[in-house]
Every structure is written in C-alpha cells, then in structure tokens.
Structure 1
Amino acid sequence: MEPPDLRRLLSNVPLRTVLIVPFVLQILGAVGLVGYLSFRNGQQAVNELAGQLRSEMSARIEGELKGYLESPHGFNRINSATFAEGQFDMVEGRNAVQFLRQVQVSDFIYASYCGDQTGQYLGAYRYTPEDNQTTIALSVSNAGSDYNLDFHRIGTTGDKGSLLQRFRPYDPRQRPWYGSAVKAERPIWSEVYLDFATGLPTITASEPVYGQNNRLIGVCATDVVLLQELRQFLANLSIGDSGIAFVMDRSGALLSSSTDEPLTTGEGEAMTMLQAVDSSDRLIQATTSDLQQRFGSFEEIYSPQQIDFKLPRDGLDLMGGEHLFVEVLPFQDDRGLDWLIVIAVPESDFMSQIYANTRNTVLLSIVALAIATGVGIVTARWVIRPLLELNNAAKDIAKGELDRTVEIHRSDEVGELANSFNAMAGQLQESFQTLEAKNAELQHLDKLKDEFLANTSHELRTPLNGMIG
C-alpha cells in the first residue's frame, strides 16, 4: 500500500503533469542509457584498438630498424675480407670501388671506410661542398696527404681523382669507432654521436680485421646517419591524426622522431644531442617525463610496456588533461644497441568519432525530448480539455444553469462520459422542470385552499355575527 504522505502528494499533482512528466522521463532515461552504454562500449573498443595499433606500429619500427641497421655490418664483413686480402690500396689511396658501391646503393649509409694499424685510412664519403650539392668523394689519410683527411673526386673504378678539400689531421686509430672495435674484439656499434664534419647524429658499425696468426690489421666501419631515412619512415607511419613515434637511447637522447624538430641543440663545438625531455614537441616531452617518473630511469625498462596517462594541463591548451596511449619497446641487439622505441597517441585520435557520435546522441536526445514533451503536451491537452469542459459544465449546472451541455464528439471513453453527462444533465433538467410544475401546482392548490378557507371563514362569520348582534 502507498504511504499516506505519498498518496496525499500524488493527489495534489495536476493530471497534466502526471500525463507529461513520466512520458518525458522514460524517453530521457532510455536515450541517456543507450547513449552511455554506446559511449562506454566504444571507449572499450578504442582501448583495445589503441593497444593493437601501438603494438603493430612498434613492431613495424622494430622491423625497419633491424633491416636498417643490419646492412652496415654486412658491408663491414665484406670490407673486412677484402681488407684482409690486401685488395685496398691504403698507401696510394686507390681501389676503393667497393666503398663507392656501398654508399651508392644505400641512401642511409653516410660513409664506408677502413683504417689500419699504421694510421692509414681509405673510404667513400658523402661530401657536401659549399654549393650544397652532395656527391660521393674518396676520403683518404696517409703519407701522401701528410696524414690529413683529404677528400678527392672518385672515379668509377674507385681511384683517386682531383683534390676537393683538405680537412685536418686525421688518425683513425684515435677515433672512437676504431678503439671500441679493437677493445671489444668483435663487431659492435658505437654510441650515437654528432659527426665531426656534418654535425648530424650518426652511429658507426665497426669490425676489427685480423690477419694471419690473429694479428690485428685494422678496423672497417660504416657510418649510418639517423636523420633522413629513419625520420621519413617514422613520419610516414599512420599513427592517428596527431600521434608521434620516436627513438631514444637509454640516456634519453632523441635519436629520431616522426616530427621535424631538430635533433641537436647548440652550435659549433657546443652542439649536443637533444634530450627527449627537453623536446619542444609536447607529446614527446610529456611522454618521456612520465616514463622517467614511472620507472625512475630509462635503464629500468626491460620489456615492452603499454601505458596510459593523462597529459598535464598547460594554460589554455585544449590538449591539457587528455589521455595519452603510449607503447615502449626496448630495441637491442648483440652488437651493443640498446634503444627505446616509443609510440604516443592521444585518445582523441581514436575517440573523435565516438565523441562526434556522442554529440549526435545528445542532440538527438534533446530533439527527442522536445518532441516527447510536445507530444505529451498535445496528448495531455487532448485528454484534459474535454475533462475541463465537463468540469466547467458541472459547475455551471451547480449554479443553476440546468440547460448546460457539452459538445464533445468522440467515440472513446471520454466521449461516453460526455454522452452520459449530457444525459444526466437532461434528466436533471427534466426532473427540475417536473418539480417546478409540481411546485406550481402545489402553490395553486395552496392558493385555492387559502381562498376556500377565507370564504368559509366569511360564510361562518356572517351568521354568527347575526346571532350575536
């Protein structure tokens, strides 16, 4: 049973409200629930899709890096065998065609060369003169160049042509790529460094060369510039509308990215590799900062990680507070590479369509609510108007207007009620007319009675007066 207070409250609610409000609330609740469930299901699907996309993108970058960085060591093996057989003319700086071909066929190979234990050096090098027209030159350092690094034109057979530029004294044995390979006694990678001639981020694959009795002859190496080819590959990846991909080493130095941001900072001898946490790109900076806080150090990331975090707000930046999907994949090989591949995608890249659908759902809900309210009002008026007319007619009858009827021509229950009301009003009017006729008749009889009594009294009083008088 309903509580008395609730029953009293409901009894005071207008019929129009009872007819409209529940109808509107049902529409609003149904549309809101459907919209919410649709949004949540879409968000869950997006999270799964984002995880798959991040894994796919990082795997593609890993595969590209492996292919990208395998050929330099392949070139070194070939060059080491040729060097061990004495086929490179280190004294005269000739027969460097093998180096020439390697630089020609691989756009990402910047230089291919060998240095020996006597301080001689021979190779092919991408040379960019003052007119910025890059060409492949023969690079040589020996007694003939007074052990300066000279760049010469190179013929199709790999022989030395005219001098292009004398750079400066150069002893390969003092270079990191040479000393590291000799110390490791196996093929290795150097740390990423800025090339002394170009200032570009470069990594060198080097391999020690041994002759008879395991005697060290020298070292062969291949320089790989990390700037163009890898950046182009990263930039061409479809990582949402505003997602980014970048590669950094364990120190946090930015090696490559899908943005066009310079990878170095400073000028001249003060030029250094750009740290990812100092990047001008907000996604790169926020991602690396979060990784540092989360793991304490980039060295602590041992396995693939999928991370979601919220970007900090930055003034009026509309991206502030947005969620970011991040994938971190360690990239390592047995030659000393130890980098991190990072994918970062804003949630809005995946959720934009869902947000649009949600906005459409809200708009449709408002339209549906307006229509439902309008239909409810029209329906309430259609139901209540004859009831109000009946109510007014009943009040008029109560005031004595017994000829009052209602003109409601409907075949539903309200129409039946109107017909019954009119019949009742007719019967009531007929009853009142009958009563009035009876009343008039009674009044006439009462008048006749009064006249009869008056006449009788007079008749009786006359003889009595005669008798008395």
Structure 2
Amino acid sequence: MKPRFRSLLILALTMPMLAAGSLAGWLSFSNTERAVNDLADKYRHEVIGNVTADLNAHLAGVQRVVELNARQGWDLSDLKGLQRRLFNQLLAFQTPTQIAVGTTERVFVGVERRPDDKVMLSHSDLSTGYGLNTYAATRHGEPHGYSVSVPDYDPRQQLWYRRAENALGTIWTDPFYYPGEKTLQIAAARPAFDALGQFSAVYVAAMNLEKTSRFLRELSLAGGARAFIIDRKGLLIASSLDEPLIRDESLFDRLPAIESRDAVVRKIAGRIRTAAATLQAPLERQEMRIEAEQDVHYVEARPYRFDEGIEWLVVVAIPESGLIGHVKDGNSTTMFLLLALTLPALGLAILIAHWIDVPVSRLSRAAEAIASGRLDESIEITQPRELASLGESFNAMTARLRESFAALEQSKQKLEERVIERTRELDGQNSALIEEIHRREAAEHGIRRERDFTRRVVNSLPGIFFLVDEEGQDVLWNTNLETVTGYDGEELASLSLFSLFDANSRIALRHKLQEAFAQGHAECEAIIVARDGRRIPFHIKGECIEMDGSPHVIGMGVDITQRKRLEDELRRLATTDALTGVATRGHFLDSAELEIERTHRYQRPLSVMMLDIDHFKSINDSHGHAAGDMAIQKVVGVLKQLLRGEDLVGRLGGEEFGVLLPETDSARAVIVAERIREQIAALHIVSGESRISLTVSIGVTEYQRFDTGIDGLLLRADLALYSAKHGGRNRTVLRVAARETEAA
C-alpha cells in the first residue's frame, strides 16, 4: 500500500522535536552534581556580597558622623546648642543609635535613639554635680521630664575616650554589650582639637549590631542555610539564627561561635579556629564542606575589613539538600516543559497535516465532480494516492467539456458582457468610497501619531518643559516637571506657572514672560519650590510660538544646582588660603581697594599692618616644612582670636600677612599690634623633641588723604616692618607718612 500523505507529514514534523527533548532531559539529569556546586558558589557569593554592602553602608554612616563632628570646631561651652546639633544629626542619620561628646573638662553631652524610636538627651557637667542626667526629648530636641541620673560620671574614664585621646584619627571599639537595649553595639570615636591645636574633646557615635542580625534573618536564605559574623576571637557579632549573642548578661560575656546552640555553627567555628590558628593569623578566605545534622553543608568564610580597626569573618553555610531540591525542581520543571511542549507540538503537527490534507482531498473530490462536465481541465499525477486519483478524475472529464463547450460559450459571452457592465458601475462607486475611507483613516492616524510623537518628544527632553499661555497658565508639560515639583498632572493643570516658583523668581518670570511675548525669546534663572519645600535653581529659556491663533511660550529649564555649588566652591577657593583659611593675596588687595574708597568717601580712619614671622626660614630648615606650617597656623589662630569680625587678614607671602583695620586710627592699631605680638611671643610649637618659640615683627601705618590705593599703604607698612626686623625683631614699628615711631 502507498503511505498516506498525512501520516508522512506528521512523522516528519514530530521526530526532530522528540529527539531534541530526549537529549535535553538526559543532559539535565546527568549534570546534577555540577549544578549543585555552581548553585552553591553563586548563592554564597550573592549572600556575602549583600552582607558586605550592608555593613559598609552602616559603618560608613557612623564614621562619617564622628569625623564630621570632630572637624566642626563647635563651641564646647554652649552645651544647649551642642546638644541640639547632636539631636538634629541623630534625626538626619538613621544608622547611629548614639552620638555624644566628652571634653577634657569632664563635660559630657549625648543623644540616644531607643528601640521604640524615642530620643533621650544626656549631659553631665558642673551644674549637675557631674552626675549624668538623662531626659526624654521632645520632637524639637528639648528635654522633657526626668528619666534617670548616674552619679559621679566621668566620660574621660570611658574606654572610647581613653582609646581616642591619644589617637591621630578615628578608632573603633570592640563590639560591647549595651544593657540599656540588651544588644551588641560598636562605636567609633575621634579626638577634636581647638583653634590652637590643643586636644579638647572626643566625639563618639555607636550603632546597634542587632540591625545586622536582622538583615541576615531577612535575607532570602535557602532552606536550612545559615549566615553569621564572628570577630578574630571567634565571638559572634551577628547571626541569622534566633539565638542570644550574650552568654551571661550579668557579666557582659559575649557568646563564642563554638558554643552556639546550632550544631552546624559549632562545627564551622571549630574548623575555622583550626584553620586560622585560633584566629590570630591574618584572616583569609576559606571554603569547606562539612557534614552535620545528617546533611552536607557548603561553607564559605570571607574576611571583612573596614577602616583600620575592624576585621571580621562573614560565614555562609548552605545545605546540600536545599540545593538539590532546587536542582531537582529545575529538572522536573525541564521535563514538564518538554512534555508540555511535545504534546502541543504533536497536536500542531496533526493540525498542519489535516490543514494540508483536507484541501487536497476536497480538490480530488471536486475533480471527480468536474468530470461530470462543469470544468475543462486535463492533468497527469502519479503520487501520492490522493493526487493520482485527482489526475484521473481531471482526465476523465476532458471529453465531456468538449461536447458542451459550444453551447456554454455563447451563454458565457452574454453573461460576461453583463458582468463587465455591472462591474464598471460598482467599481466607480467603490473607488470613491474606498478613497474617502482611506483619506479619513490617514488623517486620523496622522493626528494620533503626531500627538503621540509630541508627547514622547516632550517627555524625553532633559530638564523641565512647559507650554503656557499669556496668563501664565500651563497648557502642556513633561513628566520631569511633575517629578521635580512633586505635583501630579491634575494639580499642575489647576496651577499657574508662577505659583511653582519663589517670590523673587515670580517677579522675574512675569517680566521675562512679557519679554518673550514681545521680543520672541527670553531667559533667566529662577528657583522652583517643590511640594516638600525643596528649593531647586533652574536656568530657563523661553521662545514665543503661535498656536491655535494665539501666542504661547515654550519654556525649557535645566537644573543648575551642581553648577551653583561649583561656583560657590570656586569662589571660596579663589578667595581663601588653603593652609590658614584667611584671605588670599588677591582677595585681600581687592577688598582693601573697596575699603579705601569707603574710607575716602566718608572720611573715616583706616589702618594697615604687615606681620612677618621671625626666623621662619630657620624653623623650616631645622625642623621641616610641617613645623613651618604649624607655626603659620598658630600665628593665624592668634590673629583670628584678637581681631574683630570686620577686620580682614590676608596671607601676602609665605610667612607674611597683611591686616586691614577699618574704623581704626594708628594709635589704636599699635595697641592691637602689640597685643598680637605679645600673645604670639607667649606661644610655642613642638616638633619631635624640640620646643620652638615664636615671635613676629609688625609694621603699622594709617591711611592718609593723599593715598590713592592700597599700594601706598602696603609700601609704608612694609618699610615699617623692615625697620622692625632690622631693629632686633619681635617689635612693632609705626610709620605715618615719612616718619617712623617704634612701639615698646
């Protein structure tokens, strides 16, 4: 028998898919062990990476608070202002649970965030009899109610103070038990120095390590997986297991990992202790497989280091049963998918075969009917069977077609003529109708495309975009404007453009909007006030366009916040000496010229002094540039302490300084200069084992009506300074016009 066409087609379509599915299933089950190892490596790497990132974020936050406070130079005598600053910091930074400062005068000021988010204020000084008083804080940082008092509290005896007072930078304490919250904490501390470089206080900030344990428990760990952190002593710092990390709260005794309630953690800790020689050697990355609790665990211990005071081990253990379950689930899923794909494929093959076979069979039956005389056709087909039968039918009807051709031809011609005539009529009507339909569809499509294109273009523009009418009402805007202001589309539709800006910017924008309508374009800088109160500077350009018969303005704005910050920073760098913080030579001379103009206009006194450190080259040559820099900073510290806020100090050269004294005559200027000279003479700096005394020579002069600029005053002051140098140094010389007078 000849094979059926449908059977051949089904076989050809399904065989390749069945073969590919069988091969894929075999490969999936044969690679199970390798898949388990790969999955374990990937999972451990991912978990340790997440833990490391979390630790970095929290520890960096604590370190940043301590270093920021130590560099602020806050007034340690203003305890209320100091406590308010620490309170605001605690609200601004989420990681620290405590921020405090202890001074060399036995003063302590601190703030603490409790687990219930209640903030407590603490302070200890002479007014409390050096007892540590703790109060609850209001939401404005004011003390409210009395909580507890600790008698005879001395912050200088605390471990964090003793370790930090002799340090050069930030130090970290070991994790310690905090009874107030019954949790482990770790603290960072840093010494602070006054304007004269003397040690004055220690700033400290602490974080709750329970956050790290909670983070470990919240990780998506595979079934039965463990994650924990230990220090160099093998003591637990954090754990994904719900067990206490303190062995004895009364003794503040931390729990060693080797004594954990979990058998897997104990066995891992024992292996790590053996491998790292009781954890006294440098910590290194370790991988191991251990058997515990009737399962094989894939373990990785990776060192974690932060700054110079923290070196821990992050350990992740994953049971093989959990990994195999994932792999078996994957294999089962693979087989299910193969089966799910094979059955539809078989059905699709049958459907395709049916789809091809049925028309051929119908054509065969039609050919047999045509043999009765309805069509004229002659064909020869041998394979397959259906088409062979079709060929025989077509050949059989050829004779009958010839007999009826003559009669049918005449009728056919008449019918064709009528059909052609009617077709022409319908074609004319259909063409007009189709043309109108196509025209309308094209117009509607163009409108939709133009509207969509416009919206996409507007939303893709950088910065903000808006289209307003002559009243300043928003007609169109992009999503960036909603993001920047915090208002949604419905709210922006009901607001005017001006209401989004501050009061000064509204006035400028109204003027610039009228300018754009009148001249075709305008631009300005303006400040947007967002819903949450943020003030964001923008540079805005506007162009006038015609839309729907009336003028509108298209506006585009670029956020210039970063540019403003850079301008301020460049302005500060250009006008401030990096070593001393006083004015640069250029800024000093420019400011002096302006002050001379004011002095000349209002006939007010003005004095100038020039100050030079004696034997400065000898200090640099004998003790190094670091000692020279320290001497310069000591001198500047005295100037800042004794001079008024309206006085201006500028660094004119290496060890040479100029001082501008508005509203000061020469007699008063000499008194000020002598105070400066005497206080500097009482100073000294320490370089290694050497104690270096400091003196300065000062030249003073007063503005005269014939002075046309700062150059003349500086020349006279420089001549007076020259005289002080050659007169024996460590003295003040006054020069008025052509005369000199030496101060005592």
Settle same-fold status: TM greater than 0.5: yes
Structure-2-length-normalised TM-score: 0.39
1:50 alignment partner, SS class: helix
1:114-157 deviation per Cα after TM superposition (whole angstroms, max 9, x unaligned)? 010011100111357xxxx5621111111122111110233455
Correspondent of 2:314 among 338, 341, 364: 341
Correspondent of 1:144 among 127, 139, 146: 127
The answer to whether the 8 A contact 2:170-2:188 is kept is yes
The within-5 A match list for 1:64-79 is 64-79=54-69
Task: Check if 1:240 corresponds to 2:222.
Answer: yes
* Counterpart Cα distance in 2 of 1:85 and 1:35: 71
The equivalent of 1:293 in structure 2 is 274
The equivalent of 1:14 in structure 2 is none
* Counterpart Cα distance in 2 of 1:138 and 1:353: 52
1:213 alignment partner, SS class: coil
1:316-362 deviation per Cα after TM superposition (whole angstroms, max 9, x unaligned)? xxx32x211111111112231111111111111101245679999xx
The equivalent of 1:250 in structure 2 is 232
Correspondent of 1:266 among 248, 272, 292: 248
The equivalent of 1:465 in structure 2 is none
Judging changes above 3 Å, is the alpha-carbon distance between structure 1 residues 154 and 48 closer, same or farther for their aligned structure 2 residues? same
The answer to whether the 8 A contact 1:204-1:221 is kept is yes
Task: Check if 1:113 corresponds to 2:100.
Answer: yes
The within-5 A match list for 1:48-63 is 48-63=38-53
Paired letter, 2:165: V
1:234 alignment partner, SS class: helix
2:148 alignment partner, SS class: strand
Judging changes above 3 Å, is the alpha-carbon distance between structure 1 residues 77 and 353 closer, same or farther for their aligned structure 2 residues? closer
1:184 alignment partner, SS class: coil
* Counterpart Cα distance in 2 of 1:138 and 1:328: 40
The equivalent of 1:224 in structure 2 is 207
Deviation at 1:305, TM superposition (A): 2.3
The within-5 A match list for 1:33-432 is 41-82=31-72, 84-86=73-75, 89-90=78-79, 93-127=80-114, 135-227=118-210, 229-268=211-250, 270-300=251-281, 302-311=283-292, 319-320=293-294, 322-354=295-327
Equivalenced residues, count: 312
The equivalent of 2:471 in structure 1 is none
Alignment RMSD (CA, Å)? 2.8
2:244 alignment partner, SS class: coil
Deviation at 1:275, TM superposition (A): 0.7
Judging changes above 3 Å, is the alpha-carbon distance between structure 1 residues 259 and 108 closer, same or farther for their aligned structure 2 residues? farther
* Counterpart Cα distance in 2 of 1:66 and 1:203: 14
Paired letter, 2:268: T
1:170-194 deviation per Cα after TM superposition (whole angstroms, max 9, x unaligned)? 2111111111112222101111111
1:55-91 deviation per Cα after TM superposition (whole angstroms, max 9, x unaligned)? 1211111111000110111111222234x2316623x
Judging changes above 3 Å, is the alpha-carbon distance between structure 1 residues 37 and 300 closer, same or farther for their aligned structure 2 residues? farther
* Counterpart Cα distance in 2 of 1:298 and 1:46: 30
* Counterpart Cα distance in 1 of 2:59 and 2:29: 44
* Counterpart Cα distance in 1 of 2:309 and 2:144: 37
2:58 alignment partner, SS class: helix
Structure 2: segments with no counterpart, 5+ residues: 1-23, 334-744
Structure-1-length-normalised TM-score: 0.61
Paired letter, 1:235: R
Paired letter, 1:89: D
Deviation at 1:199, TM superposition (A): 3.7
* Counterpart Cα distance in 2 of 1:327 and 1:136: 40
1:179 alignment partner, SS class: helix
The equivalent of 1:393 in structure 2 is none
The answer to whether the 8 A contact 1:97-1:156 is kept is no
2:147 alignment partner, SS class: strand
1:260 alignment partner, SS class: coil
Judging changes above 3 Å, is the alpha-carbon distance between structure 1 residues 346 and 127 closer, same or farther for their aligned structure 2 residues? closer
* Counterpart Cα distance in 2 of 1:196 and 1:186: 28
The equivalent of 1:452 in structure 2 is none
Paired letter, 2:75: G
* Counterpart Cα distance in 2 of 1:86 and 1:236: 43
Deviation at 1:35, TM superposition (A): 10
Deviation at 1:196, TM superposition (A): 4.8
* Counterpart Cα distance in 1 of 2:199 and 2:331: 70
The answer to whether the 8 A contact 2:234-2:273 is kept is no
The answer to whether the 8 A contact 1:113-1:220 is kept is yes
The answer to whether the 8 A contact 2:120-2:137 is kept is yes
Highest relative contact order (Cα 8 Å, sep 6+), 1 or 2? 1
Structure 1: segments with no counterpart, 5+ residues: 1-33, 312-318, 361-469
1:299 alignment partner, SS class: coil
2:265 alignment partner, SS class: helix
